[in-house]
């Protein structure tokens, strides 16, 4: 039985197969419409979510399966003090696969150790968000045609942004990837990413503060929200929250074929005037999230569709 805690749980070859399967699902949805008939997905979300939870549920429904779950800790027995270990032992009796989001880093991993069904990390604190990374890789491969030879600007809250941490881990496995890390001093990537991931693997990167200085070099601009819920101090959040606002003027500095991605939700960091720019890919990215989660459910449940 396979769980998914990190994008690195999949080899590059396994990832390639998963993305190819997602593209086939996109082209031939009817072929997969009954693939999970009789199977159940549990979504155990101890933290708010729109895209991840609903795209998992849409994915299972699109595969002909059923869904159950909870969308906040308050509406589960976590509010009475139940541990994730006990919860997953019980969920294992009710469902065939579980997607879990939790504010504590490592909570889905703890759950996976007691689980009788595959557990998918749907975001754990500021740590990892592997299915967002799968979504991002599918978006990049589908829209840019490759996962190598890319200059990627990661912009915003690089300290607490778990989507950025997972994406860096996943992309460094491809040749000729360069990163421009665009953030204010206070929100730079954690040192373990800078030292243990980027330096250790000789991945070229540059840290810059001004978005304007990076725009012209980028194949992909990956914007992120300042993670209000992870700040200890409201004043710090207020000072940081509008540090970057991507608008038409800044988009004029970018290449014609650059794409703008964002895991969403956005707050102010991308002006709505950018939404009509053909390079704005963030809503297409959310759609790719459904296809890739369908492919992941099929893969972890070992369902083959001929």
| DSSP letter string, 208-256 | ES-HHHHGGG-SEEEE----GGG-S-HHHHHHHTTS--B-HHHHTTS-T
Is there a contact between 222 and 144 (Cβ–Cβ < 8 Å)? no
The Cα–Cα gap between 270 and 210 comes to: 15
What would the two tokens of residue 221 be? 């601009």
Contacts of residue 65, Cβ cutoff 8 Å, sequence gap at least 6? 36, 37, 38, 39, 40, 41, 96, 297
120 beta partners: 4, 99
Is there a contact between 202 and 239 (Cβ–Cβ < 8 Å)? no
Using CB under 6 A, list all residues that contact ligand CP: 49-52, 123, 132, 263-265
CB of 102 to ligand CP, least distance (A): 13
CB of 71 to ligand CP, least distance (A): 11
The Cα–Cα gap between 258 and 238 comes to: 30
| Nearest CA among 265, 274, 282 for reference residue 225 | 265
Residue 146 designated active-site = no
Q: Classify residue 170 by its DSSP letter.
A: H
Catalytic, out of 129, 165, 169, 225? 129
| CB nearer to ligand CP: pick between 85 and 287 | 287
Catalytic, out of 52, 135, 139, 224? 52
If phi > 0 it is left, if psi is from -120 to 50 it is alpha, else beta; for residue 302 that is: left
| CB nearer to ligand CP: pick between 126 and 263 | 263
CB of 202 to ligand CP, least distance (A): 30
Catalytic, out of 39, 53, 101, 293? 101
If phi > 0 it is left, if psi is from -120 to 50 it is alpha, else beta; for residue 156 that is: left
CB of 53 to ligand CP, least distance (A): 6
| CB nearer to ligand CP: pick between 119 and 215 | 119
Computed from CA positions of residues 279, 282, 285, 290, in that sequence, does the dihedral angle turn out positive or negative?
A: negative
CB of 205 to ligand CP, least distance (A): 23
Residue 52 designated active-site = yes
Total Cβ atoms within 10 A of residue 231: 18
| CB nearer to ligand CP: pick between 51 and 159 | 51
Task: Specify the length of the chain in residues.
Answer: 306
Residue 101 designated active-site = yes
CB of 292 to ligand CP, least distance (A): 12
| CB nearer to ligand CP: pick between 35 and 261 | 261
Active site amino acids: 51-52, 80, 101, 129
């Amino acid at each position: 039985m396979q769980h998914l805690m990190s994008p690195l749980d999949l080899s590059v070859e396994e990832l390639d197969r998963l993305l190819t399967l997602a593209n086939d699902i996109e082209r031939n949805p009817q072929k997969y419409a009954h693939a999970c008939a009789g199977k159940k997905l549990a979504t155990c979300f101890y933290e708010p979510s729109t895209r991840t939870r609903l795209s998992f549920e849409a994915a299972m429904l699109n595969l002909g399966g059923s869904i159950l779950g909870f969308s906040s800790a308050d509406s589960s027995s976590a509010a009475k003090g139940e541990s994730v270990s006990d919860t997953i032992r019980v969920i294992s009796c009710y469902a065939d696969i579980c997607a879990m989001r939790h504010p504590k880093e490592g909570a889905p991993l703890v759950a996976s150790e007691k689980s009788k069904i595959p557990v998918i990390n749907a975001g754990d604190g500021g740590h990892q968000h592997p299915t967002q990374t799968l979504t991002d890789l599918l978006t990049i491969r589908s829209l840019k045609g490759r996962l190598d030879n890319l200059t990627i600007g990661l912009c915003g809250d690089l300290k607490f942004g778990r989507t950025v941490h997972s994406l860096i881990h996943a992309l460094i496995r491809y040749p000729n990837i360069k990163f421009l890390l665009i953030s204010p001093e206070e929100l730079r990537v954690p040192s373990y990413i800078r030292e243990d991931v980027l330096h250790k693997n000789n991945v070229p990167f540059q840290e810059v503060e001004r978005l304007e200085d990076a725009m012209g070099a980028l194949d992909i601009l990956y914007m992120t929200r300042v993670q209000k819920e992870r700040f200890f101090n409201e004043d710090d959040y207020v000072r940081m929250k509008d540090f970057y606002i991507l608008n038409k003027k800044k988009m004029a500095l970018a290449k014609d074929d650059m794409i703008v991605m964002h895991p969403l939700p956005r707050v102010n960091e991308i002006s709505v005037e950018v939404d009509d720019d053909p390079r704005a890919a963030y809503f297409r990215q959310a759609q790719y999230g459904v296809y890739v989660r369908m492919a992941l459910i099929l893969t972890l449940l070992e369902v083959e569709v001929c």
